Structure 1
Amino acid sequence: MNLVNPSQNQRSKRLPELLVPALLGALILVYFAIPFAAFLARTGTTNVIAGLSTPESQIAIRNSLLTAPVSTAIATVFGVPLAYVLARRSFVGKRFVEALVILPLIVPPVVGGAMLLTAVGRFTPIGAAAAAVGISLTDSLIGVILAQTFVAAPFVIITARAGFGAVEERLEQASRSLGYGPLSTFWNVSLPLARGSIVAGIILTFARAIGEFGATMMVAYNPRTMPTRIWVDFIAGGIDSIAPLALALLGITLAVLAIVQRFGRVPTVIDQ
């Protein structure tokens, strides 16, 4: 009598089929892991506390922790409603709007920063008007926020759109049939049901904003944020000099990864 479980037979047959993909996948995983291991091994004896206690590091940390939450809040307040519209409505020009949302993700950050300078730089109409009332849109914390928002906002829009798309429209229709208006339905039905994706998008937006370098360097090289401070320290002293701030950013990244995994799978552009 054959006592082998049929499911075990199926699994054993699939093992040879998965061998080559597994080996190829293992190679890319090793490639991902080696730089982390090498960097941590090199910086293992670095005095991180002393490095983070310098005035320059303290200012950079403060600036990043001030600007990244503001950028994330702006992206969320304006991006989540846009995500809902994209998930629920068809309209003329929708493809263009979708492309515009994705564009900051695929444009090199330095190019994005140059584009921002042509829009809000000191000698542009917008920049000049702001300067006339005492507001500098470049080389200021406002400039940092503009750069961070430009490159990071697509994350919350894309993930929130996927979350709203997964909500069954009949639930919203039921709410409307009970006499609730569109805003009440959005707030009490759509938003809670898409909450996991929205929170994941907000967290990813914050991580992208606090780690933004290219666009920030172009729009607001001063005041320093953590990434721009890392660049200045690297030019002056090499890898060892950037270890404290780099480890701090790595710690934030790992915390973000843990939180995102807590809220489940993060939708991607391909899911749209």
Structure 2
Amino acid sequence: MSLSAESASGRSRRTPELLVPALLGGVILAYFALPFLTFLSRTGTANVVSGLTTPNAQVAIRNSLITAPLSTTIATVFGVPLAYVLARRSFVGKRLVEALVILPLVVPPVVGGAMVLTAVGRFTPIGSAAAAVGISLTDSLVGVVLAQTFVAAPFVIITARAGFGAVDERLERASRSLGYGPLATFWNVSLPLARGSIVAGITLTFVRAIGEFGATMMVAYNPRTMPTRIWVDFIAGGIDAIVPLGVALLAITLAVLAAVQRFGRVPTVIDR
């Protein structure tokens, strides 16, 4: 039997085995696609362009495009080093640290927002101290950033940790043996090798931050971001009223994912 015939025979034997998983997977894929298609079909009944040119919509878009990148930057600057420590070191209290990282992912966003309020609210010691120097930690863009960072930062920490964990430690030891210090080794060896996972984590963090509603609503209902503006518009005018901002938010997230897939390596996290 020729090689091509053997290959075809192998594929034919695998087809029945994959039929049931493929059908089950097709059901969930159809469920994912249906809401997108039905929502986008309503763009014909709503003037998206005119909806996005209203002052309220433009303010919400501006606020989201200011706060989400800032939240993502904060999460990355502080989260990636933590991810490296968790991937490379064992220490007393490590399980507690891991639990703290996961906690914002498992609590409902509204509860997360309430937690942030108990820490930095207007009448807390931190909130009062900030207010004394003219900084409001709630009902401000600062409050939005605090809420977004709380719920979104775990994504970059968890994915970056997976990336660092996949880096062969022998390469880091080789770098150290050549005279490079810990920081130089981290910057020139560990960070580039874990780049794919880190980029994926940054992407997930940004998408989570820009779409955050529950925690943001609790900490900073004003000024409006895109998700909170969508909620207000929905209460006032129903589904058609939120189509413009909904389409804009979807377009931003898809553009970010497309850019990262073009210049980064998002699939590395999924492949792991």
Q: TM-score range by the shorter chain?
A: over 0.9
Equivalent residue, structure 1, for 2:211: 211
Deviation at 1:5, TM superposition (A): 2.1
Work out whether residues 167 and 194 of structure 1, in 8 Å CA contact, stay in contact via their aligned partners in 2: yes
Per-residue deviation, 1:4? 6.2
* 1:31-42 matched pairs, under 5 angstroms: 31-42=31-42
Question: CA 1:179–1:239 in 2, change beyond 3 Å: closer, same or farther?
Answer: same
For residues 258 and 78 of structure 1, what CA distance do their matches in structure 2 show? Answer: 26
Quote the residue 1:91 is aligned against: 91
Q: CA deviation at 1:2?
A: 7.2
- Aligned CA distance change for structure 1 residues 2 and 187 (closer, same or farther; 3 Å): closer
1:76·1:156 contact (CA, 8 Å) conserved in 2? yes
- Matches of 2:54 and 2:2, distance apart in 1: 71
Counterparts of 2:54 and 2:247, CA distance in 1: 15
Alpha-carbon contact 1:105-1:154 (below 8 Å) kept? yes
Runs of 4+ residues over 6 Å off in structure 1: 1-4
Does the Cα contact within 8 Å between 1:158 and 1:267 map onto a contact in 2? no
Matched residue, 1:163: 163
CA–CA distance in structure 2, aligned partners of residues 179 and 3 of structure 1? 52
Q: 1:173 to 1:4 in 2, by over 3 A?
A: closer
Task: State the Cα deviation string for residues 188-233 of structure 1 (Å, max 9, x = none).
Answer: 1111111121112111111111111000000000000000000000
- Could you say which residue in structure 1 is the equivalent of 2:76? 76
Contact 2:199 2:266 in 1 (8 A): no
Give runs of aligned pairs for residues 71-150 of structure 1, distance below 5 A: 71-150=71-150
TM-score by length of 2: 0.95
Amino acid corresponding to residue 267 of structure 2 in structure 1: R
Tell me if the contact between 2:109 and 2:151 (Cα under 8 Å) persists in the aligned partners: yes
Q: After the TM superposition, which of the residue ranges 216-225 and 19-28 deviates more from structure 2?
A: 19-28
> In the aligned structure 2, how far is the partner of 1:49 from the partner of 1:62?
16
Aligned counterparts of 2:254 and 2:14: Cα–Cα separation in 1: 34
Tell me the amino acid that sits aligned with residue 265 of structure 1: P
1:135-176: per-residue Cα shift (whole Å, max 9, x none)? 111000000000000011011111111111111111110110
Report if the CA contact (8 A) 2:72-2:205 is conserved: yes
Corresponding residue number in structure 2 for 1:56: 56
| Residue pairs, 1:168-247, within 5 angstroms | 168-247=168-247
Runs of 5+ in structure 1 lacking a partner?
Answer: none
Q: How many residues end up aligned between the 2 structures? A: 270
Q: Find the aligned partners of 2:43 and 2:55 in 1 and give their Cα distance.
A: 21
In structure 2, the partner of 1:259 is: 259
Query: How many angstroms apart in 2 are the aligned matches of 1:260 and 1:140?
Result: 30
Distance in 2 (alpha carbons) for counterparts of 1:140 and 1:3: 67
Between the aligned partners of 2:144 and 2:70, the Cα distance in structure 1 is: 10
State whether structure 2 residue 69 is matched by structure 1 residue 66. Answer: no
Runs (5+) with no aligned partner, structure 2: none
Q: Which amino acid aligns with 1:52?
A: L
Equivalent residue letter for 1:267: V
Match of 2:44, SS state, is: coil
Letter of the 1:214 partner, please give it.
G
Are positions 1:18 and 2:10 aligned together?
Answer: no
- In 2: Cα distance, 1:142 partner to 1:236 partner: 27
Shifted more, 1-10 versus 171-180: the winner is 1-10
Secondary structure at the counterpart of residue 81 of structure 1? helix
CA distance in 2, matches of 1:161, 1:197: 8
